[in-house]
Amino acid sequence: MSDIADAAKRLLLGRPVRSDRLGHTLLPKRLALPAFASDALSSVAYAPDEILLTLSIAGLSAAFISPWVGLAVVLVMAVVVASYRQNVHAYPSGGGDYEVATVNLGPRAGLSVASALLVDYALTVAVSISAGAQYAAAAVPALRGYEVHFAIGLVLVLTLANLRGVKESGRLFALPVYLFMFALGLIAVVGFLRYVTGTLPMAASSELGVVPVSGFDQGLVGIAGGFLVLRAFASGCAALTGVEAISNGVPAFRAPKSRNAATTLLLLGTLSVTFIMSILLLARATGVHYVEFPAEQLTRDGQLVGEDYVQNPVLSQLAETVFSGFPPAFFLVAVVAGLILVLAANTAFNGFPVLGSILARDGYLPRQLHTRGDRLAFSNGIVALAVGAMVLIWAFDAQVTRLIHLYIVGVFVSFTLSQLGMVKHWNRLLRTEHDPGARTRMLRSRSINAVGLALTGTVLVVVLITKFSRGAWIAIVAMGVAYLLMRGIRKHYEMVGDELALGEDPAAARALPSRVHAIVLVSRLHKPTMRALSYARASRPSVLEAVTVSVDPAEIAALREQWEALDLPVALKILDSPFRDVTRPILGYVKSIRRESPRDLVVVYVPEYVVGHWWEQLLHNQSAMRLKNRLLFTPGVVVASVPWQLASSASAAGSRPGAPDPRTRIPPAAVDERATPAGSPEEPTAPPSPETPR
What's the confidence (pLDDT) of residue 291? 86
659 sits in which H/E element: none
Residue 624 is part of which domain span? 514-675
Asked if residue 279 belongs to a domain, the reply is no
Of 11-15, 71-75, 429-433, give the lowest mean pLDDT range. Answer: 11-15
What's the confidence (pLDDT) of residue 225? 77
Asked if residue 19 belongs to a domain, the reply is no
Cβ neighbours of 11 (radius 10 Å): 8
CA distance 353 to 372: 10
CA distance 686 to 573: 22
Last residue of some domain: 433, 464, 495?
495
Asked if residue 11 belongs to a domain, the reply is no
CA distance 168 to 174: 10
CA distance 356 to 376: 15
| 231-252: average pLDDT | 78
pLDDT digits (tens, 9 = 90+) for 351-364: 788 888 889 989 99
What is the percent of the chain with per-residue pLDDT over 90, rounded to a whole number? 20
Per-residue pLDDT at 693 exceeds 90? no
Q: What is the CATH number of the domain that holds 532?
A: 3.40.50.620
pLDDT band (50, 70, 90) for residue 450: very high
pLDDT band (50, 70, 90) for residue 690: very low
pLDDT band (50, 70, 90) for residue 657: very low
Q: What is the CATH number of the domain that holds 44?
A: 1.20.1740.10
What's the confidence (pLDDT) of residue 680? 33
pLDDT digits (tens, 9 = 90+) for 264-275: 888 888 988 899
What's the confidence (pLDDT) of residue 332? 82
What's the confidence (pLDDT) of residue 667? 45
Residue 55: name the closest of 315, 286, 221, 290 by CA: 290
What's the confidence (pLDDT) of residue 481? 94
Residues 90 and 161 in one domain: yes
- For residues 371-403, b (16+ Cβ closer than 10 Å) or e, as one string? ebbbbbbbbbbbbbbbebbbebbeebebbbbeb
Of 42-51, 284-293, 631-640, give the lowest mean pLDDT range. Answer: 42-51
What's the confidence (pLDDT) of residue 364? 92
Query: Which DSSP string corresponds to 369-423?
Result: GGS--TTSS-HHHHHHHHHHHHHHHHHTTT-HHHHHHHHHHHHHHHHHHHHHHHH
pLDDT digits (tens, 9 = 90+) for 330-348: 788 878 877 777 777 777 8
Per-residue pLDDT at 170 exceeds 60? no
Cβ neighbours of 235 (radius 10 Å): 30
Of 115-124, 170-179, 291-300, give the lowest mean pLDDT range. Answer: 170-179
Beta bridge partners of 608: 643
What's the confidence (pLDDT) of residue 219? 62
Residues 46 and 139 in one domain: yes
Residues 88 and 219 in one domain: yes
| 211-235: average pLDDT | 76
Where do the DSSP E strands lie in 472-585? 516-521, 543-550, 571-576
Look over the chain and give the mean of its residue pLDDT values, rounded to a whole number: 80
Residues 75 and 158 in one domain: yes
CA distance 482 to 140: 38
Residues 587 and 527 in one domain: yes
pLDDT band (50, 70, 90) for residue 670: very low
pLDDT band (50, 70, 90) for residue 15: low
Residues 491 and 538 in one domain: no
3-state secondary structure of 688: coil
Residues 529 and 451 in one domain: no
| Environment class of 605 (CB within 10 Å of its CB; exposed 0-12, middle 13-18, buried 19+) | buried
Type of residue found at 633: F
Asked if residue 160 belongs to a domain, the reply is yes
| 359-383: average pLDDT | 81
Residues 248 and 109 in one domain: yes
What's the confidence (pLDDT) of residue 507? 62
CA distance 198 to 209: 24
pLDDT band (50, 70, 90) for residue 221: low
Per-residue pLDDT at 486 exceeds 90? yes
Residues 428 and 547 in one domain: no
Residues 537 and 457 in one domain: no
pLDDT band (50, 70, 90) for residue 374: low
What's the confidence (pLDDT) of residue 459? 85
Of 95-99, 100-104, 393-397, 451-455, give the lowest mean pLDDT range. Answer: 95-99
pLDDT band (50, 70, 90) for residue 674: very low
> Around 568, how many Cα atoms within 13 Å sit in the side-chain half-sphere?
24
Last residue of some domain: 495, 523, 545?
495
pLDDT digits (tens, 9 = 90+) for 605-626: 999 888 777 777 777 767 778 8
Asked if residue 135 belongs to a domain, the reply is yes
What is the percent of the chain with per-residue pLDDT over 70, rounded to a whole number? 84
Query: Residue 680 CA to chain centroid, in angstroms?
Result: 57
Residues 590 and 468 in one domain: no
Look at the chain and report how many structural domains it folds into: 2
Per-residue pLDDT at 140 exceeds 80? no
Per-residue pLDDT at 482 exceeds 90? yes
Asked if residue 155 belongs to a domain, the reply is yes
Contact between 488 and 365 (Cβ < 8 Å): no
CA distance 352 to 373: 15
Per-residue pLDDT at 24 exceeds 60? no
pLDDT digits (tens, 9 = 90+) for 83-95: 888 888 888 876 6
Asked if residue 7 belongs to a domain, the reply is no
pLDDT band (50, 70, 90) for residue 1: very low
pLDDT band (50, 70, 90) for residue 208: confident
3-state secondary structure of 650: helix
Residues 68 and 107 in one domain: yes
What's the confidence (pLDDT) of residue 94? 66
| 154-166: average pLDDT | 80
pLDDT band (50, 70, 90) for residue 375: low
> Around 72, how many Cα atoms within 13 Å sit in the side-chain half-sphere?
19
Query: Residue 671 CA to chain centroid, in angstroms?
Result: 53
pLDDT digits (tens, 9 = 90+) for 560-593: 999 988 888 899 999 988 777 888 899 999 999 9
Asked if residue 387 belongs to a domain, the reply is yes
Beta bridge partners of 550: 576
Per-residue pLDDT at 653 exceeds 50? yes
Contact between 134 and 404 (Cβ < 8 Å): no
The listed range with the strongest mean pLDDT (304-318, 405-419, 482-496) is 482-496
Q: List, in order, residues 6 or more apart from 308 with CB less than 8 Å away.
A: none
